[in-house]
Structure 1
Amino acid sequence: MRKKLLISAAALIVSIPTFAGDYLTNTNQHAAFLRMVARGASIDVDGVYSNPAGLAFLERDGFHLSLTGQSAYQTRGIHANYTTFKGISNGKPELMNANEYYEGTASAPFIPSFQGLYKKGDWTISAGFAITGGGGKASFDNGLPMFNSLVKAGIFQQSVAAGQPIGAEMVTINSALDGTQYIYGAQLGISYKINDWLSAYVGGRMNYVKSSYEGYLKANLIKELGGAELMTMDLDCQQSGWGVTPILGIDAKLGKLNLAAKYEFKTNLNIENKTNTLNVPAGIPDEVIKPYADGEQTPSDIPSFLSVAAQYEILPTLRASVEYHFFDDKHAGMLNNRQKTLKHGTHEYLAGVEWDVIKRLTVSGGFQKTNYGLSDDFQTDTSFYCDSYSIGFGARVHFTQSLNMDIAYFWTNYSDYTKSTDDYNGTKVPGTDTYSRTNKVFGLSLNYMF
């Protein structure tokens, strides 16, 4: 029981995505994505991330610069309905039902990014800096059911062995969990216009991970029984690591139709612990503690990513785009080979349209559908995901021929995920968790050419 309790605590070392994209990948690096969504075949400054090969077809030579700020707010809910232990009746454990709701918030008030390029003839050099994964702080102020249910069961079993049964109604639990994660990405590459209709790109991205996780749990007898301390646990762990992502791209401009593809190779990435506090009940074997001890490393690969897109100019003032993303998550290393429990990698389907209403105003909207390939074994209280669809809309305001601004709002609707088991968090009794999420992102980008 104590071994499973520690493993659950160590599961705090997870990603905290607040944006669109995969488990460790943020695909929205510009407000143009938020307002149109399908930008994989765009020929614009935001193509530094979304379509770097297409930069070779920009009409104007010179510098193109863009600064973006985004604000994201996400909630995570867990409705826990499980069986726990009330006491002993006729020499056998007496059971009771616990119906609890836990909510956490993940916020990123300001996430900046930069994209820029210099074009001269057939050659374009581009660079970007962004939060390419994570990007916020997640807080569960009342803990998580995976801890609380396990602690209640553990205390009951240990107290029965001592001849003084302590049921769930006799215990109060005070717990909280906080985690932050940022993956900083610096990208550099070169695009070349091979002929009038074909261009290519080669580049790479340096990724640096910085995370911190803090949590505590204190279990006591209720005040009416004296309030004695029964169990305590504390975790304060920081992590860091880095890895390089090679990137290739191609773009075919065929009149009104533009076709583009980008492939980001898998990033081999290990994150190293700097553990300031790891207090757990006595008697935990060294082999259990070691993976979370100071200096230990954990695999956290960024999966390979394929983007294929098409954009068509229906009218000189009206454009439509479709796009497909695939993240090869099943071949990206995670803690304890968790990736092997997925049914498949992540599939995303995107579509968008933009319309130049007048010379100085462009309005747009888009849609994205995300299918993660989730399984019960993959989902945990500290790291759960839900299939979703997203809608984005917004506008570009053209102040001058050289200066414009994108402003957009992006909203995601998640499908609840229900996980039922006969051995709820290792307690040997049944239970069900229903996971839910919400997500809202607002973005603004300033774009300048000279």
Structure 2
Amino acid sequence: MRKISLVSIVMLIVSISTFAGGILTNTNQHAAFLRMLSRGATTEIDAALSNPAGLAFLPNDGFHMGLSIQSAFQTRNIDASFFTFSGYDGTNPIVSDQPFNKYYKGKAAAPVIPSLFAAYKKGDWTISGFFAITAGGGKASFDDGLPMFESLAMAGIFQTALKKEGKIVTPDMYNINSAMDGKQYIYSVQLGLTYRINEWLSAFGGGRMNYFTGGYKGFLRANLKEALGGAQLMDPLELDCDQTGWGLTPVIGVDAKFGKFNIGAKYEFKTNLNIENNTKQNTAADGALAAFRHGVNTPNDIPSMLSVAVAYEFIPTLRASVEYHFYDDKKAGMADGKQKFLTKGTNEYLAGIEWDVTKYLTLSCGGQITDYGLSDNFQSDTSFSCDSYTLGFGAKLKLSERAALNVGYMWTNYDDYTKTSKNYNNIGLSGTNVYSRTNKVFGVSIDYRF
């Protein structure tokens, strides 16, 4: 029978992000983002990521730092419905009267996601940096496999049995066991300098080193049911592959203050990043899993990103911010050139507001709309995205003149994406997948000025 490929499933984690942001980029690294979402014009310590030029307007010289811990939980589900072969009329296979239906559940969890921010300000100069997981950050598990593999296995088993033994083997006669665990992290360290040009304008220049590490373990097996003898219907496929890679991201930014307005802008250049296989087990290295032979490289670029934000102080105790992000995903290399199927880059629109209820307590909330350039050719069981809107809320508690505690909660509501195909997963039959997702993130951060 034809081989069943696991190539796409191991690439799944590349597109799984347990954060906000573009297809391959995480923007929330601090609880202040979770509680307000629009932080692109902030001048607090989390600006080391979101608005580094704004650090020129820190209120005090000296050393500032922030430590954040987040927990993120996500689901990625597929409601699949596809036709199978049910018999043979002596000339052609007979298609089933009713489609095969199954709901496939995927879970991604990242219980502890740390981030560290630091800045030292002396007069007009500020040196800053941060450590964070800027992409990925979680482990994904698909305990029941995926529809693309079950549909391929079903078609292959039917054709092989018919060709070799002249028998009809239908889905009710066997069990397919397929599962995959995967994890991906891009650890990033950024360092840069901010200079205050005059009373109202500052600029930033810096760079970020990104280190990719991921791991994938999976299998696919098919056997007749015990009542029919339990015979193996195909050679098992197994994969155990680690991947690593690194790349550099230049970053520039500006910040301008005009009365009660503050404008922050940042541009992150595209990061050229290839990930290399360190394969421990691969049962089809010369066939279906050739892309995961030991030493093979796969593109996994981080797209360029533009952020522009405007904050306004209505009164000393009430502030609001609006923001725009653009991720140039179409120019970032992806596995198998998937970026070519995007209709455009990712657009994000953010807004947030915060209110100082008392001298020691600030409440805030915010929202974000994410609009991808999706297409049917881009979407697959193993790598799909959904347009969404995100809501967040939380509080900042001033512990002392030098310390503040931020807490925030963010959840994302995704639009379902329906993909219908007349040649479902290249099996020659029709089928439909409805892709859906959920995402919830909680975080706490402590900021301190020495």
From the superposition, tell whether residues 250 and 304 of structure 1 become closer, same or farther in structure 2 (CA, over 3 Å): same
From the superposition, tell whether residues 412 and 314 of structure 1 become closer, same or farther in structure 2 (CA, over 3 Å): same
Distance 1:152 1:224 in 2: 19
Distance 1:222 1:352 in 2: 56
Identify the residue that residue 404 of structure 1 maps to in structure 2: 404
Are 1:109 and 2:111 counterparts?
yes
Alignment partner of 2:192 out of 189, 201, 209: 189
Partner-residue secondary structure (3-state), 1:229? coil
Structure 1 residue 402, shift from structure 2 partner: 0.4
Are 1:171 and 2:178 counterparts?
no
Structure 1 residue 277, shift from structure 2 partner: 1.3
Distance 1:358 1:274 in 2: 55
Alignment partner of 1:240 out of 218, 234, 244: 244
Partner-residue secondary structure (3-state), 1:217? strand
One-letter amino acid of the structure 2 residue matched with residue 182 of structure 1? Y
Indicate conservation of the 8 Å contact 1:152/1:171, yes or no. no
Alignment partner of 2:156 out of 154, 162, 176: 154
Distance 1:357 1:127 in 2: 31
One-letter amino acid of the structure 1 residue matched with residue 16 of structure 2? I
Structure 1 residue 383, shift from structure 2 partner: 1.3
Structure 1 residue 16, shift from structure 2 partner: 2.1
Distance 2:180 2:314 in 1: 51
Identify the residue that residue 385 of structure 1 maps to in structure 2: 385
Structure 1 residue 87, shift from structure 2 partner: 2.2
Identify the residue that residue 272 of structure 2 maps to in structure 1: 268
One-letter amino acid of the structure 1 residue matched with residue 139 of structure 2? K
- The 5-angstrom pairing of residues 424-435 of structure 1 reads 424-435=424-435
Identify the residue that residue 228 of structure 2 maps to in structure 1: 225
Q: Deviations over 1:283-310 (max 9, x none)?
A: x866x64432100100100000000000
Partner-residue secondary structure (3-state), 1:434? strand
Indicate conservation of the 8 Å contact 2:87/2:168, yes or no. yes
Distance 1:8 1:93 in 2: 28
Indicate conservation of the 8 Å contact 1:10/1:292, yes or no. no
Distance 1:439 1:8 in 2: 23
Distance 2:12 2:403 in 1: 44
Distance 2:158 2:7 in 1: 19
Identify the residue that residue 124 of structure 1 maps to in structure 2: 126
From the superposition, tell whether residues 356 and 13 of structure 1 become closer, same or farther in structure 2 (CA, over 3 Å): closer
Distance 1:3 1:347 in 2: 39
Moved more, 91-100 or 430-439: 91-100
Between the two proteins, the alignment pairs up a number of residues equal to 446
One-letter amino acid of the structure 2 residue matched with residue 173 of structure 1? I
Indicate conservation of the 8 Å contact 2:4/2:153, yes or no. no
Indicate conservation of the 8 Å contact 1:86/1:169, yes or no. no
Moved more, 67-76 or 229-238: 229-238
Indicate conservation of the 8 Å contact 2:10/2:182, yes or no. no
Distance 1:9 1:233 in 2: 12
Indicate conservation of the 8 Å contact 2:32/2:408, yes or no. yes
One-letter amino acid of the structure 1 residue matched with residue 198 of structure 2? N
Structure 1 residue 12, shift from structure 2 partner: 4.4
One-letter amino acid of the structure 2 residue matched with residue 155 of structure 1? I
Partner-residue secondary structure (3-state), 1:33? helix
Distance 2:333 2:8 in 1: 19
Moved more, 162-171 or 40-49: 162-171
- The 5-angstrom pairing of residues 226-375 of structure 1 reads 226-231=229-234, 232-280=236-284, 289-375=289-375
Indicate conservation of the 8 Å contact 1:76/1:437, yes or no. yes
Distance 1:8 1:296 in 2: 15
Partner-residue secondary structure (3-state), 2:113? strand
Partner-residue secondary structure (3-state), 2:192? strand
Indicate conservation of the 8 Å contact 1:355/1:364, yes or no. yes
Indicate conservation of the 8 Å contact 1:301/1:332, yes or no. yes
One-letter amino acid of the structure 2 residue matched with residue 153 of structure 1? A
Distance 1:383 1:143 in 2: 14
Structure 1 residue 8, shift from structure 2 partner: 3.9
Indicate conservation of the 8 Å contact 2:262/2:310, yes or no. yes
One-letter amino acid of the structure 1 residue matched with residue 122 of structure 2? K
One-letter amino acid of the structure 2 residue matched with residue 204 of structure 1? G
Indicate conservation of the 8 Å contact 1:22/1:327, yes or no. yes
Indicate conservation of the 8 Å contact 1:9/1:235, yes or no. no
Distance 1:285 1:3 in 2: 11
Indicate conservation of the 8 Å contact 1:15/1:181, yes or no. no
Distance 1:145 1:42 in 2: 45
Indicate conservation of the 8 Å contact 1:5/1:151, yes or no. no
Structure 1 residue 5, shift from structure 2 partner: 2.6
Partner-residue secondary structure (3-state), 1:34? helix
Partner-residue secondary structure (3-state), 2:157? helix
Distance 1:416 1:309 in 2: 29
Distance 1:116 1:8 in 2: 39
Structure 1 residue 10, shift from structure 2 partner: 5.1
One-letter amino acid of the structure 2 residue matched with residue 332 of structure 1? A
Partner-residue secondary structure (3-state), 2:5? helix
Partner-residue secondary structure (3-state), 2:133? strand
**Which 5+ residue runs of structure 1 have no aligned equivalent?**
none
Q: Deviations over 1:185-217 (max 9, x none)?
A: 001000000001100000011000000011111
Indicate conservation of the 8 Å contact 1:270/1:299, yes or no. yes
Indicate conservation of the 8 Å contact 2:363/2:396, yes or no. yes
Indicate conservation of the 8 Å contact 2:241/2:278, yes or no. yes
Distance 2:199 2:4 in 1: 62
Indicate conservation of the 8 Å contact 2:115/2:133, yes or no. yes
Q: Deviations over 1:375-415 (max 9, x none)?
A: 11111112111100000000000011101100010010000
Alignment partner of 2:203 out of 200, 205, 210: 200
From the superposition, tell whether residues 92 and 17 of structure 1 become closer, same or farther in structure 2 (CA, over 3 Å): same
Moved more, 322-331 or 10-19: 10-19
One-letter amino acid of the structure 1 residue matched with residue 212 of structure 2? V
One-letter amino acid of the structure 1 residue matched with residue 275 of structure 2? I
Q: Deviations over 1:349-389 (max 9, x none)?
A: 00000000000000000000001111111111121111000
Indicate conservation of the 8 Å contact 2:121/2:127, yes or no. yes
Indicate conservation of the 8 Å contact 2:15/2:384, yes or no. no
Moved more, 220-229 or 300-309: 220-229
Are 1:65 and 2:65 counterparts?
yes
Distance 2:382 2:242 in 1: 16
